[in-house]
A and B are shown apart, each in its own frame.
Chain A
Amino acid sequence: MTGAVEGLSTGRTPRLVTATLAALVLGGLVLAVMSERHYRDQKVREAQVQAEILAASVAAPLAFDDADTAQAYVRAMARNPEVLSVGVYDERGERVAHLSRDGASPPAPRLQAGETPSREGSVRVASPVVEAGARLGQVRLEMGSEPVARRLARYGGVALLIGMAALAMIVLGAAQAALRRANGELGRQAQDLAGANARLHTEMEERARAEEALRQSQKMEALGQLTGGIAHDFNNLLMITSGGLDLLDRTSDPKKRDRLKAGIRQAVDRGAGLTRQLLAFSRRSALKPEVVDLGARIEGMRLLLERSLREDIEVTFDAPADLWPVEVDAGELEVALINLAVNARDAMPAGGRLVVSARNVPGEPTSSFPLDHVCLAVTDTGVGMSPEVVERVFEPFFTTKGVGSGTGLGLSQVYGFARSSGGRTDINSRPGEGTRISLCLPKSARSAGEAPADAEAAAPLLDEGGRLLLVEDDDGVAAVVIQMVQDLGLSARRAMSAEEAIAVLAEDQAFRLVFSDMVMPGTLDGRQLAQHVRDHYPHLPVLLTTGFSQAAEAARSEGLSLLPKPYRLPELRAALEQALRPKN
């Protein structure tokens, strides 16, 4: 549209200016020509009158051959400075008297009456000499007009005005055209800019999407790498458990049985820890900062890290007990740690040592890090990196690994996590001397949540005994949980589904608590059941349990009490104590 308007205006203006200029010049010319013609006509009339006066005067001298008198009249006529030459001729055409100024030839005889311009700026006229009808001769007169220079000067003023007007119009027209061009250019540039901006936005969005997708796929890749080791690990655990159980049946020696039970318990605990880490790792959620005890968290990840590395790599953990708490997204922290470990593993193709350490680093008020930090460092004895690689190693998609073996997103995730958590990353590396990557996170003013061990103190709550309503679709799980509940001094009534639980509650509200699985067959799930109980029996507490991390997230976000599966007896006890404790 801008282009169309511009094309219209730039096309029209010069034509308009040119037309006006042409009209102006034409008008000036016409005016000059008319003025010149008028001037000339006037000059001719003037000359004619002069000739006629002379003709009347010389009639008698001509009739009676008085050349002297005729010459006297001619001389009198020539007093007029504009008269260039005068001639008086008798009826036979012979000159009787004449006079001509310098440079002017005497008028020729026998010329037709009327004007015959002979020279620039002069007019020639002839007048017959007639007395009482008798033709006596002819007077011819040449009259000069104003010099050309003086006439030009007379028109000069007008010409100057026209010239000035023309110049003004040309300048104006040119200026306007230039302005319009500039405007058009500006408009185009603005459009280009807007287009570029839109493209940039689109590209940014696409890139963000691609990065997100890649991040996810990187996660999945890491997960894939873990899978083999985990399957192997689980088989080992199952081997221990299964073999342990077999041996338990075959021995009655209490010492031996205790050792076997301890071995089975250890294997089951390791399995539970492993699945918890996997669920946390596979969780896909936005950054959700929580106060985290780094030491406990690292210790919790020990298994996962060991699984993600190879057997020829020796892993050492080094974290003091008095680490400050930090406030970060626990899931992202774990991913970052895994990424650092995987990166270290890949830097040690021939095996080596990997140290995961954590230290409190007090802030230095004068330095660029005035705040207290907790620094997590992963050190390997691998191939190291050149300064050029070090410089780029946190860039997204930068990778030294072969095609298909790395996304180049691992360390960039570490960097991004550190930045979004208010921390920083450091890297120390030299070719052949290994690499140390530090992830420093600011100290949190809050302290980490209380440990479940505290629940032991509140145990008396359960001593009152009583009944709870267990909602669980799996018979095996239900049987074990009922045993555990009874072991805690409570009795349980079981419902197979949320619908059944609602029906039971409608008849019998004499329960201390509703303990429900979250994901069950049927139209209602644990959350909806909890909602129902909250609405209809506000004094009846609800404790939910699930093995699905997403369901657990949803329950936590609604403020519901939750016990993640799998759980051990002490954990169940603590969760029940917590749920039964009167709310403030």
Chain B
Amino acid sequence: MSAGRRLGFVSPNAPLLAAWVGLWVVLAAGAAHAQSLEYPVKANYLVRFAAFVDWPGSAFASPGSPIVICVAGRDPFGRRLDEAVAGQLISGRRVLARRVSSAEARSGCHIVYLGGLEAAARRELLAALASRPVLTVTDAADPAVRGLIDFAIARDRVRFHIDNDAARDAGLAVNSRLLSLALTVRGGRS
């Protein structure tokens, strides 16, 4: 059990609560520490999702085309994501990370992280990517506007929900072993 993976807070609202009880300084440091652990983990997960999801052949220009991970809007990962993709070879494809605008994310991406977008822009982009072979990933979003995968924090760990129905609509096959790790799966685990 790695200490490095353990997260030091219960919820994203903790710094606020801490400030309110007058212990802001101490807890702000803890929050900063939590922040510094949460996003590297998520960056890793973004890359690893690629290993548990099959895209249709039409999603790639050629058999050697890379898998492109796009971070739309604000980038919470920084160099962590670049480190996570570096040297990875999944199903014989290299993995690339791109920071794109909401508009740019509509094409050329296989995985799109929408956590950095405002709710309206997120909803708009999700709608645009719906039924297309793109693995959309949201971050603790409103259940009504979730991507195919939605990060969540459970028992101090980064976990996720999966919308398998929508994934099938999009032409993606999610590995059952990934499904078995999800907190919830819409559309069943098989």
Distance in Å from the Cβ of B152 to the closest Cβ of chain A? 12
Residues in chain B near residue A133, CB distance under 8 A: 51, 89-92
Q: Do A64 and B48 touch (CB < 8 A)?
A: yes
Contact with B along A279-291 (1 / 0, CB 8 A): 0000000000000
Nearest residue (CB) in B for A58 is B177
Q: Hey, what's the 0/1 contact readout for A64-86 against B, CB within 8 Å counting as 1? A: 11110100000000000000000
Check: B86 CB closer than 8 A to any chain A CB.
no
Bound-complex Cα distance A132 to B48 (A): 10
Q: How far is the CA of A69 from the CA of B159 in the complex (A)?
A: 13
Contact of B45 among A64, A94, A96 (CB under 8 A): A64
A96 CA to B5 CA, complexed, in Å: 11
- Asked whether any CB of chain A lies closer than 8 Å to the CB of B50, the reply is yes
A553 is an interface residue with CB less than 8 A from chain B: no
Would A134 and B180 count as touching, CB distance under 8 A?
A: no
Interchain CB contact (< 8 A) of B180 among A60, A96, A132 = A60
Task: Give every chain B residue within 8 A of A59 (Cβ-Cβ).
Answer: 177
Cβ A94 vs Cβ B2 within 8 A:
yes
B107 at the A/B interface (Cβ < 8 Å)?
no
Residue of B2, B89, B159 near A134 (CB, 8 A) is B89
Q: How many residues of B contact A (CB 8 A)?
A: 23
CB of B11 within 8 Å of the partner chain: no
Contact with A along B156-178 (1 / 0, CB 8 A): 01111000000000000001011
Query: Please, which residues of chain A bring their CB within 8 A of the CB of B89?
Result: 133-134
Contact with A along B137-162 (1 / 0, CB 8 A): 00000000000000000000111100
Give which listed residue, B5, B51, B88, B91, contacts A65 with CB less than 8 A.
B5
B181 & A60 in contact (Cβ 8 Å cutoff): yes
A354 and B91 CA atoms in complex are apart in Å by: 150
- Determine if A272 is an interface residue (Cβ-Cβ < 8 Å): no
Q: Is B88 a contact partner of A134 (Cβ separation < 8 A)?
A: yes
CA gap between A60 and B174 in the complex, in Å: 12
Beta-carbon nearest neighbor of B89 in chain A = A133
Residues in B with CB closer than 8 Å to A268 are none
Interface 0/1 of B75-119, CB less than 8 Å to A: 000000000000011111000000000000000000000000000
Q: Report the Cα distance A344→B58, complex, angstroms.
A: 157
Q: Are B158 and A65 in contact (CB under 8 A)?
A: yes
Residues of A within 8 A of B160 (CB): 64
A59 nearest CB neighbor, chain B only: B177
Cβ A134 vs Cβ B48 within 8 A: yes
Q: Is the CB of B51 within 8 A of A131?
A: yes
Residue of A at shortest CB range from B92? A133
Q: How many residues of A contact B (CB 8 A)?
A: 18
Partner of B41, one of A65, A66, A96, A132: A65
Q: Which of B52, B157, B158 contacts A131 (CB 8 A)?
A: B52
Instruction: Confirm or deny: B1 has a beta carbon within 8 angstroms of a beta carbon on chain A.
Output: yes
In chain A between 9 and 63, which residues have their CB closer than 8 angstroms to a CB of chain B? 57, 59-61, 63
Q: Which residue from chain B places its CB closest to the CB of A134 in the assembled complex?
A: B51
Q: Chain A's nearest CB lies how many Å from the CB of B142? A: 23
Q: Tell me how far the C-beta of B62 lies from the nearest C-beta in chain A, rounded to whole angstroms.
A: 17
Contact A65 B157 (CB under 8 A): yes
- Residues of A contacting B157 with CB < 8 Å? 65
CB distance from B93 to the nearest CB of A (A): 9
Which B residues touch A63, using CB under 8 A? 45, 48, 51-52
- Residues of B within 8 Å of A132, CB to CB, are 50-52, 90-91
CB contacts under 8 Å to A, within B11-60, are 41, 45, 48, 50-52
Instruction: List the B side residues contacting A64 at CB < 8 Å.
Output: 45, 48, 159-160, 178, 181
A328, chain B: closest CB distance, angstroms: 137
A90 to B5, CA, bound (A): 12
Q: Report whether B92 and A69 are in contact in the complex, using a CB–CB cutoff of 8 Å.
A: no
Given A60-B177, A65-B5: A134 in contact with B90 (beta carbons within 8 A): yes
Tell me whether B52 and A60 are in contact (CB under 8 A): yes
Interface residues of A in 524-545 (CB under 8 A from B): none
Across the interface, which residues of A come within 8 angstroms of B1, CB to CB? Answer: 67, 96
Minimum C-beta distance from B43 to chain A (A): 13
A60 cross-chain contacts in B, Cβ below 8 A: 52, 175, 177-178, 180-181
A422 to chain B, nearest CB (A): 130
Whole-angstrom distance between the Cβ of B107 and the nearest chain A Cβ: 24
In the complex, the chain B residue whose C-beta lies closest to that of A67 is B1
Name, among A63, A66, A69, A133, the residue most crowded by chain B CB atoms within 10 Å (CB to CB). A63
How close is A95's CB to chain B, nearest CB, in angstroms?
9
> Could you tell me the distance in whole angstroms from the C-beta of B5 to the nearest C-beta in chain A?
6
Residues of B with C-beta under 8 A to A57: 177
Complex Cα distance, B50 from A64, in Å, reads 12
Q: Which of A105-145 contact B (CB under 8 A)?
A: 131-134, 136
Q: How far apart are A63's CB and chain B's nearest CB, in angstroms?
A: 4
Bound-state CA distance A133–B52 (Å) is 11
For A90, list chain B residues within 8 Å (CB).
2
Report how far A136 CA is from B89 CA in the complex, Å: 12
Cα separation A60 to B53 with both chains bound (whole Å) = 12
Interface residues of A in 462-511 (CB under 8 A from B): none
User: What A residues does B180 contact at CB under 8 A?
Assistant: 60, 69
Report the minimum CB–CB distance from B51 to chain A (whole Å): 4
Q: What are 8 contact pairs spanning A and B, CB under 8 A?
A: A64-B48, A65-B158, A66-B181, A90-B2, A96-B1, A96-B2, A131-B48, A132-B50
Residues on A lying within 8 angstroms of B by beta carbon are 57, 59-61, 63-67, 69, 90, 94, 96, 131-134, 136
Pairs A-B, 8 closest by C-beta atoms = A60-B177, A132-B51, A131-B51, A63-B48, A134-B51, A132-B91, A132-B90, A134-B90
Other A-B pairs beyond A57-B177, A65-B157, A96-B1, 8, CB < 8 Å: A59-B177, A60-B180, A64-B159, A65-B41, A67-B1, A90-B2, A132-B52, A132-B91
B interface, CB within 8 angstroms of A: 1-2, 5, 41, 45, 48, 50-52, 88-92, 157-160, 175, 177-178, 180-181
